Amino acid sequence: MLAIIPARGGSKGLPGKNIKLLAGKPLITYAIEAALKAKHITEVVVSTEDENIATLAKQYGASVPFMRPVELASDTALSVDTYLYTLDKLEHDFKKKYKEFIVLQPTSPLRKNEDIDQAIEMFYDKEADSVISYVEEQHSIFWHKYLESDGSLSPIFGDDKLNNRQELKKTYFPNGAIYVFKSALIRNKKYYTDKTFAYIMNRNNSIDIDTIEDFEYAEYLIKNEKHTI
């Protein structure tokens, strides 16, 4: 299976984060190394418009067969268009046609190669259209509110639920670490169907780096090996 690691050079929340050193290694290398260790991955392609990222990715064993167009690396560009560009370019220029692929964002450095393999195995076993990694929400979604401009609260789901947390059904949210797709699904610009399944990851391994605080917490977990299952 093809692994696509999307890594643009620009980041407003944490500038240069994809090559920022995390516990002594550039952030993107965690995704590359996990992908290369995964037994079901046959090719690891980094999609980037940034020459520094491309050079680094090649040094760590990933393929960068072409550069991403700048317009697909803006804040408003859709991820799905990057995936489609990569699939089309591989097929047109290199005669490589993939019926399915996995996306591994570099901002999830604590995802393990075992997670990758198990998600892919779920994808095949369930004959899924997609498998997406999720993590359990600690607090009930029914406690969430909209915050209005005057500071008042308004309900999201209608009537308030005053049940204890233990009485409410567990909810889960996507952690951004793993996306396994049928290419046909992405060509329809969809992520979900009734054949989409969740691969559940634990909370520490689910960290998604967007801010310096996320980065520092990930570094703490790595240095203290607290992300180990």
d(CA 181, CA 56): 26
Proportion of the chain above pLDDT 70, given as a percent: 93
In this structure, are residues 200 and 141 in contact, taking their beta carbons and an 8 Å threshold? no
Pick the CATH number of 2-223 from 2.60.40.10, 1.10.10.10, 3.90.550.10, 3.40.1110.10: 3.90.550.10
The three-class DSSP label of residue 178 is: strand
The tens digit of pLDDT for each residue in 32-50 reads 999 999 999 999 999 999 9
Q: Is 24 exposed, middle or buried (0-12, 13-18, 19+ CB in 10 A)?
A: exposed
d(CA 53, CA 47): 9
Whole-structure pTM value: 0.90
Asked if the model's pLDDT at residue 229 lies above 60, the reply is no
